[in-house]
Chain A
Amino acid sequence: MDYFFQQLINGLVLGSIYGLIAIGYTMVYGIVGMINFAHGDIFMIGGFIALITFLILVSIGLTFIPVILLLVLLVAMAVTALYGWTVERIAYRPLRQSFRLAPMLSAIGMSFVLSNFAQVSQGARVKPVPPIITGGYTLHDSGNFAVQLSNVQIVVVVTTVVLLAAFTYIVSRTRFGRDMRACEQDQTMAALLGVDVDRTISMTFVIGAALAAVAGMMYLLYYGLVDFFMGFIAGIKAFTAAVLGGIGSLPGAMLGGLAIGLIETFWSAYFSVEYKDVAAFSILIIVLIFMPTGLLGRPEVEKV
């Protein structure tokens, strides 16, 4: 039982990271109806920015960890958000009126560009960092197995919850959130009513990228490494999470992220580590067979 609870904690932490990335996919899908394949690589760039900022801050003599983490978080969010904005401006905006496959391939091309940009500019080798947040609590000790809750895990989950609360507030209570939901429903009508559609879409990419940057930083804190290829696998799994939750649905993205995180963790714990991704993908396929629009997705209305 203790082992089960330990895996539950690990799964929820991993799921929070996937959920943060998945929100970016689902937001972009909701508003422009395209799969933003470059989003996983935005997450990877976020991890790199966090790593480099951390290195600089430490080398200029800052030692108080919470201040360092806060600064790293802010810089990573700001710079990665600019990456998200630039990608949308260069690769997607010219294709907005175009047919469905063109922006998707443009996104795949952009994903190659970003991951290879990181490879060329920062080298192909894995970048390890020493544990930044150490320590933790023992929740329960049955003698042969102790349930551990590390401080890193607390930081990851708390950051995710705080950001989600802020994000939910933005989407449901602010002017921008209303614009965003309006564009999601009907862009022409929203434009007629004075919503700046271009700006709203840009802001959607900016927010998605900022959340991905947080996920990248959490990944760095939790696993202690970044490499240029991590965006692909994490991106596919986060997208799987978004689809599992019902693409276009924001709570669905978080739910799907947690589900994928839990499936992966439990599968590695009880069955085999090698096939954890196979398990996650298989469950995606099985869920979609029975619920073709995901867990919380709206059923598609067929107009004839």
Chain B
Amino acid sequence: MAVPAPHPASAEPTAGFGFILKKAVISALVALVLFFLMIGIRTEAGSSGQLIYWTRFGELAAIVGAVFVGSIVIELLRRWIGPVGGVELPASVRGGFAVLGRLLAPALLIFALLVPVIFYKERYLLDLAILVMTYVMLGWGLNIVVGLAGLLDLGYVAFYAVGAYSYALLAQSGLPLPHLTDAFPYVAFSMEQLGPWAFWVLLPVSGLLAALWGVILGFPVLRLRGDYLAIVTLAFGEIIRLVILNWQDLTGGPNGISGIPRPTVFGIPLTPGEHGFAAMIGVPFSPTHRLVFLFYLILALALITNWVTIRLRRLPIGRAWEAMREDEVACRALGINITTTKLSAFAIGAMFGGFAGAFFATRQGFISPESFSFQESALVLAIVVLGGMGSQLGVALAAIAMIGGFELFRGLDQFRMLVFGGVMVLLMIWRPRGLIGHRAPTVFLQKRTEISASLVKEGHG
């Protein structure tokens, strides 16, 4: 673990062009072997079910050539720039960055508030902004579990799914348990009685149900640590997805649920009719109103998540989370109840996931198990880690970068996930501790200062 690897540049300081060439030739040869079968030969099932194949040696040659040239360029750049991280910025520049850093969060907030005003005409951008804010909220929610409590959760999407399905099922059919309603007619009320208030009543219900599932997951994994915890949360996420996929009577299986009620502005529907929101405030109806409303709704939900997190960090429970992340054994020795600490972290993280899920369901109007795959969990976790685990601003920036970047690659079509995965690897190599390299500790002695992120532990759970 602790073996210092010799830096490639310092190991061969005087190696000349021959060395670079040799390295490039080796890279090209490796690429040739790797890609000869996978790219050079293309297989496809023919019309009669028989496999046929044809060769693509042109593409193969192009890619091997690209690897050869790329290897030379990278090696030259490495010589030219020198070892990574060796650049020391002058104090004045660093001071400027610090000021900018302090201004960044308020500036982002003001910008977020103004997004619907600036992009009112651009439906696509508004939609994208809503998507980004959903991931910011999910990132902040997961940040409570991973960043603060140090519990590695690979199945966060399960709570997102629980929230979405809770809202969708309850809003559509009330209590979807026919036997129960036969036995207890007084509980058999339909959600239609709630009318336009359905979303506002069911939003907290969805969050609470997700929190309940957080406790259900948290309970068996109390004793697990590290990667055992990771795999159990992953298994849990898959179980939830598989149950949703296969319990066709309740969830509609792979077909999903459609016709989920849209949100209302506190009871006033966003419809063109005379009781609609537009008629109420006396402006002509426009479908963009709903987008603007949805954007402010998710912005508010995300900011609530952020505010609750910041407040919780100052409460005993939040401090217990961070203490547990730093050293669980010391925590127990000091009399902190690890059970409640872990369960509350899971529950609160899950609750915000549930809120986000309910919002997702009402925004889309349609949900299916496809939206809740492991890739979503990985994406949210990548946002949290890239944001620098525990840094609220970092998570927001990472969400904007990842989701926005993913949208930028939309033109690449089928290569999109390929590029996305590659970028994820490169970002991790470039900034293993995330975009924001500094943390403001919750507790300090005399003076509030920022510390390097590498001083913050990542927890054993």
Q: Does A123 contact B (CB under 8 A)?
A: yes
Contact residue among B38, B232, B389, B433 (Cβ-Cβ distance under 8 Å from A284): B232
Are A55 and B41 interface neighbours, CB within 8 A?
yes
Contact with B along A79-102 (1 / 0, CB 8 A): 100110010001101111111111
Is B239 in contact with chain A by the CB < 8 A criterion?
yes
Complex contact B53–A116 (CB within 8 A)? no
Q: B422-461 vs A: 1/0 string, CB under 8 Å? A: 1111001100110000000000000000000010001000
How does the 8 Å CB contact mask read for A93-137 relative to B, with 1 for contact and 0 for none? 111111111111110111111011111111101111110000000
Nearest CB on B from A70, distance (A): 17
Tell me which residues across on chain B come within 8 A of A35, comparing CB atoms: 227, 230-231
B424 A108 Cβ-Cβ under 8 A: yes
Stretch at the interface among A1-9, A43-51, A146-154: A43-51
Given contacts A112-B417, A116-B417, A187-B3, contact A292 B224 (CB under 8 A): yes
Closest to B459 in A: A100
> Cα distance A240–B230 when bound, in Å?
11
Q: Which residue of A lies closest to B1 (CB)?
A: A187
A300 at the interface (CB under 8 A from B): yes
User: Is B414 in the interface zone, CB < 8 Å from A?
Assistant: yes
Cross-chain contact A95 with B227 (CB below 8 angstroms): no
**CB within 8 Å for A110 and B421 given contacts A102-B428, A284-B231:** yes
Task: Please indicate the chain B residues that have their CB under 8 angstroms from the CB of A197 in the complex.
Answer: 3
Q: Is B421 a contact partner of A111 (Cβ separation < 8 A)?
A: yes
Q: Name A146-194 residues within 8 Å CB distance of B.
A: 187-188, 191
How many A-B pairs fall under 8 Å by CB? 205
Chain A residues with CB below 8 A from B38, complex form: 45, 48-49, 52, 117-118, 121-122
B432 lies within 8 A of A302 (CB): no
Give A155 Cβ to nearest chain B Cβ, in Å.
21
Determine if B268 is an interface residue (Cβ-Cβ < 8 Å): no
Cβ of B77 < 8 Å from any Cβ of A? no
A83 to B30, CA, bound (A): 9
CA separation between A116 and B423, bound complex, in Å?
13
- Considering the chains assembled together, what is the distance between the CA atoms of A4 and B329 in angstroms? 48
B residues near A281, Cβ cutoff 8 Å: 235-236, 238-239
Partner of B420, one of A51, A59, A112, A239: A112
**Chain A residues near B433 (CB, 8 Å)?**
98-99, 102
**A55 touching B30 by the CB < 8 A rule?**
no
User: B356-385 vs A: 1/0 string, CB under 8 Å?
Assistant: 000000000000000000110010011001
Residues of A within 8 A of B236 (CB): 281, 285
Interface positions of B (Cβ within 8 A of A): 1-5, 30, 33-39, 41-45, 49-51, 53, 152, 220-221, 223-228, 230-232, 234-236, 238-239, 242-243, 246, 329-330, 374-375, 378, 381-382, 385-386, 389, 414-415, 417-418, 420-425, 428-429, 432-433, 454, 458
Q: Can you list 18 A-B pairs, Cβ within 8 angstroms, ordered by A?
A: A55-B53, A95-B429, A96-B5, A101-B385, A105-B381, A105-B428, A106-B428, A112-B418, A116-B415, A116-B418, A120-B415, A121-B39, A126-B45, A240-B235, A243-B227, A247-B228, A294-B228, A304-B330
